Amino acid sequence: MNPDHPFVEQVLGVVEEIPAGRVMTYGGIAAVLGSRASRQVGQVMARYGSDVPWWRVIRSDGRPPECHEGRALEHYREEGTPLRTADAGYRIDLRVAAWSPHAL
DNA sequence: ATTATGACGGTTC
DNA sequence: AGAACCGCCATAA
């Protein structure tokens, strides 16, 4: 898997399309690319996600990656992403914040 | 080649 | 709600 791999470019392309305050799940992105390889999306983010709004890519649980949940929270507050603050940390309101690149 | 692991997801219990 | 399982595919050992 190198940066030139089409899958990588497509993933990064989709992520860049996500508007501020909105989010997309790993599986969602994989689905858009006609795949179910949500893990590959995660891998791509881990390797090449440094220069895209990675915090807008979350898990289907409505929580950002465990490693960066604190980091992501700052961005969410900054962008006004719909959050559902609960006792055990917080989670994104997927019902409202979920986004799809269909309308482009 | 085989096994384990990972910024994951969905189903089942 | 939480845990166990299986599916997915690239990488590392």
- Its pTM stands at 0.92
Q: Which nucleotide is nearest to A2 (CA to C1')?
A: C10
What confidence tens digit (pLDDT) does each residue in A18-43 have? 999 999 999 999 999 988 899 999 99
Residue A86 has pLDDT above 90, yes or no: no
The answer to whether position A77 is within a domain reads: yes
Residue A1 forms part of a structural domain: no
Q: Which nucleotide shows the minimum CA-to-C1' distance to residue A47?
A: B7
What is the extent of the structural domain holding A74?
A: 6-103
Whole-number distance in Å between A69 CA and C6 C1': 27
The residue ranges of DSSP E strands in A4-82, in sequence order, are 24-25, 57-58
Q: Mean pLDDT throughout A61-71?
A: 89
How distant is C1' of C12 from CA of A59, in Å?
Answer: 25
Number of domains in chain A: 1
A30 inside domain: yes
Instruction: Output residues with Cβ under 7 Å from nucleic strand C.
Output: A 1-2, 35-40, 43, 88
Q: Please list the alpha-helical segments (H only) found in A1-104.
A: 6-17, 26-32, 38-48, 69-79, 94-97
Residue A62 maps to which CATH number? Answer: 1.10.10.10
Residue A58 lies in a domain: yes
